[in-house]
């Protein structure tokens, strides 16, 4: 409540979009700083302690928000390894425009690196994160996913409880997402 008052935000507004937080903080910070300066000039020295306290709270809130935003960036980076280059719509909906841009730049940077490693065609580092035991694996579909298109154009219909025997590299992504389950016989 102290924080929300310090920011000049009414208590009813509980959901604040992440991209609006930094700007709000900056606004609040400048307001308070100028207010502190004006108070000091007008000689109301008894308020200095209150202002300093509120300023520290503000700085702390700013640090928390920055930590939160940084954590989001780390998770978005992990999404590239989990989902591949194209993120599903549900996830993109929750990302701000700046974050999407950051993701695209990370993608480009990773692609450049992967191309530079491993000779002519480059090396796809996002494949085979764990050493594979066999070329083809047996997977079971854990929920209705619908049609899944594989690189060579063929589609597989993934219905709950259907089992498939597919090349490992085609299934890895879906296994990571929890749609398919690897079965060890």
Partner 1 sequence: MYQHIRFGTYVNIFNTVIPLFLQRVLLLVASDVDALCACKILQALFQCDHVQYTLVPVSGWQELETAFLEHKDQFKYFVLINCGANVDLLEILQPEEDTLFFVCDSHRPINVVNVYNDTQIKLLVKQDDDLDVPAYDDIFRDEEVEEEDSENESDASEPSEKRRRFEEVFKCGGFFSLFRREILFDYEQYEYHGTSSAMVMFDLAWIMSKDLNDMLWWAIVGLTDQWVQDKITQMKYVTDIGILQRHVSRHNHRNEDEENSLSIDCMRIAFEYDLRLALYQHWSLYESLCNTSYTSASLKLWSVQGQKRLQEFLADMGLPLKQVKQKFNSMDMSLKENLREMIEESANKFGMKDLRVQTFSIHFGFKNKFSASDIVYATASLMENIEKEGPETTNFIKALDSLSRGNLDKLHQGLDLAKKQLRAIQQTVASCICTNLVISQGPFLYCSLMEGTPDVKLFSKPVSLCLLSKYLLKSFVCSTKNKRCKLLPLIMAAPMDVEQGTVIMVGIPPETESSDKKNFFGRAFEKAADSTNSRTLHNHFDMSIIELKTEDRSKFLDALISLLS
3-state DSSP of the chain: CHHHHHCCCCCCCCCCCCCHHHHHHHHHHHHHHHHHHHHHHHCCHHHHHHHHHHHHHHHHHHHHHHHHHHHHHHHHHHHHHHHCCCCCHHHHHCCCHHHHHHHHHHHHHHHHHHHHCCCCCCCCCCCCCCCCCCCEEEEEECCCCEEEECCCCCEEEECCCCEEEEEHHHHHHHHHHCCEEEECC
168 in contact with partner 1 (CB under 8 A): no
97 in contact with partner 1 (CB under 8 A): no
178 in contact with partner 1 (CB under 8 A): no
As measured in angstroms, the least distance from the Cβ of 140 to partner 1 is 7
Stretch that binds partner 1, among 18-26, 67-75, 98-106, 131-139 (CB under 8 A): 131-139
Residue from 2, 78, 100, 157 binding partner 1 (CB under 8 A)? 157
Residue from 33, 112, 165, 177 binding partner 1 (CB under 8 A)? 165
132 in contact with partner 1 (CB under 8 A): no
As measured in angstroms, the least distance from the Cβ of 169 to partner 1 is 13
140 in contact with partner 1 (CB under 8 A): yes
As measured in angstroms, the least distance from the Cβ of 53 to partner 1 is 57
Q: Classify each residue of 162-176 as buried b or exposed e, where b means 16 or more C-beta atoms within 10 Å of its C-beta.
A: eebebebebbbbbee
Considering the complex, state which of residue 4 and residue 173 has its C-beta at the smaller distance from partner 1.
Answer: 173
Considering the complex, state which of residue 113 and residue 165 has its C-beta at the smaller distance from partner 1.
Answer: 165
17 in contact with partner 1 (CB under 8 A): no
Residue from 37, 127, 162, 177 binding partner 1 (CB under 8 A)? 162
């Amino acid at each position: 409540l102290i924080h929300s008052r310090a920011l000049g935000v009414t208590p009813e507004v509980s959901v604040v979009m992440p991209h609006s937080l930094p700007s709000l903080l900056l606004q609040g910070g400048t307001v308070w700083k100028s207010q502190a300066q004006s108070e000091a000039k007008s000689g109301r020295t008894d308020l200095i302690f209150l202002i300093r306290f509120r300023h520290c709270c503000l700085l702390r809130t700013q640090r928390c928000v920055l930590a939160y935003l940084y954590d989001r960036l780390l998770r978005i980076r992990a999404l590239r390894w989990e989902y591949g280059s194209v993120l599903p719509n549900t996830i993109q909906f929750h990302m701000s425009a700046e974050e999407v841009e950051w993701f695209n730049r990370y993608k480009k940077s990773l692609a450049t690196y992967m191309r530079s490693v491993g000779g002519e065609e480059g090396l796809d580092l996002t494949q085979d994160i764990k050493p594979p035991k066999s070329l083809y694996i047996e997977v079971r579909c854990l929920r209705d996913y619908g049609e899944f298109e594989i690189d060579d154009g063929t589609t597989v219909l993934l219905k709950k409880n259907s089992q498939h025997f597919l090349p490992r590299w085609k299934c890895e992504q879906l296994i990571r997402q929890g749609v398919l389950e690897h079965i060890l016989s």
